[in-house]
Amino acid sequence: MSGLRLNLGCGMDRLDGYINVDRFGVPDLRHDLEVVPWPWPDDSVSEVLLKHVLEHLGRDTMVYLEIWKELYRVCQDGATIRIVVPHHRHEFFYNDPTHVRAVTADGMTLFSQRLNRQCIARGLANTPLAIYLGFDFELIDVKQKPSELWHRLHSQHPAHAEILLQQSALYNNVIEEVQMLLRAVKPPGREAR
């Protein structure tokens, strides 16, 4: 079994060609993502979608990090992980009492062993989580979806990424959603756990 495509925490958004997984609703597979191990073999998954899921998982930090370790275990080298979350400074994030964790692109960089080594070499205080926990994900792409408020205030200008990020650092409700693409990095010749 390899090349699986997982839609984790699918809710009502079932996708063709994926194994749709959730602990609620009517998924293909009912499973609580906070319970490990997951029911897939090592190196069996080529693509994962986590759409509006991660912000609901891992209130306890160790549970959250175990989820990432498990994700790494099931992913093949080069597997893609698509993540969609509400921006942590948007009311869609902080008004929902089931949101337990802000998920940011900067936080995802702590999951890269390459970037961990760069931070160590530069003497930075960033926690080298990828090295400590034995997983490795590269952040490939990040897109921010401007909010309706942004569009109303800047109706004559397209969303310029730099200005959008500058204003989102100062004001709430500027960016509605963040989309991230990660890639699992597994060294050749490694032994499966």
Distance CA 9, CA 25 (A): 10
Three-class secondary structure of residue 105 per DSSP? helix
Please report the pLDDT score of residue 149 as a whole number: 83
Per-residue H/E/C for 128-166 = CHHHHHCCCEEEEEEEEEECHHHHHHCCCCCCCHHHHHH
pLDDT tens per residue across span 28-50 = 999 999 999 999 999 999 999 99
Please report the pLDDT score of residue 48 as a whole number: 98
Domains along the chain?
A: 4-145+177-184 (3.40.50.150)
Please report the pLDDT score of residue 156 as a whole number: 66
pLDDT tens per residue across span 123-140 = 999 999 999 999 999 999
Specify whether the CB–CB gap between 93 and 55 falls below 8 A. Answer: yes
| Cβ within 8 Å of residue 31, ≥6 positions away | 21, 22, 23, 38, 39
Supply the pTM of this predicted model.
0.92
Distance CA 22, CA 43 (A): 21
Residue ranges in the chain modelled with pLDDT below 70: 1, 156-159, 189-193
